[in-house]
Amino acid sequence: LNPTELPNIIELGTEAGDFGTLLAALDAADLTDTLESDGPFTVFAPVDEAFASLPTGVVDCLLEPQNLDTLQAVLLLHVVGGQTLSGSLSDGMLLPTLNGEETRVDIDVDGNVFINSVSQVVSADNLASNGVVHVINNVLLPVGFDAGAFLTTCGAGNICPSVPSSGCSICGPGFCVGNPDAVFSFPGQPSVPCGTLEEAGIDGTIPLGECGFLPGLTNSVCECTAGNPFSCPDVPEDGCSICGD
Residue 195 has pLDDT above 90, yes or no: no
Residue 200 has pLDDT above 70, yes or no: no
- Greater confidence (71 vs 208) lies with 71
Residue 110 has pLDDT above 70, yes or no: yes
Percent of the chain with pLDDT over 70: 61
Percent of the chain with pLDDT over 90: 46
Task: Determine the distance from the C-alpha atom of residue 40 to the mean position of all C-alpha atoms in its chain, rounded to a whole number.
Answer: 27
The per-residue pLDDT for 190 is 53
- Greater confidence (236 vs 42) lies with 42
Alpha-carbon separation of residue 43 from 34, 81, 117, 163, 184 (angstroms):
12, 9, 17, 40, 43
The predicted model gives 111-136 an average pLDDT of 94
Tell me the C-alpha distance between 195 and 205, whole Å.
16
Report whether 91 contacts 105 (CB < 8 A): yes
The per-residue pLDDT for 202 is 53
Average pLDDT, the chain: 73
Q: Is the peptide bond before 207 cis (omega within 30 degrees of 0)?
A: no
The per-residue pLDDT for 184 is 53
Residue 169 has pLDDT above 70, yes or no: no
Alpha-carbon separation of residue 88 from 85, 93, 98, 136, 137 (angstroms):
6, 10, 19, 17, 20
Tell me the C-alpha distance between 141 and 124, whole Å.
20
The winner for highest mean pLDDT among 62-66, 67-71, 239-243 is 67-71
The per-residue pLDDT for 144 is 85
pLDDT tens, position by position, 32-53: 999 999 889 999 999 999 998 8
Question: Among the residues of 110-229, which ranges form H helices?
Answer: 147-151, 194-199
Task: Look up the pTM and report it.
Answer: 0.64
SS3 state at 196: helix
pLDDT band at 146 (very low <50, low <70, confident <90, very high): confident
pLDDT band at 9 (very low <50, low <70, confident <90, very high): very high
Tell me the C-alpha distance between 181 and 195, whole Å.
6
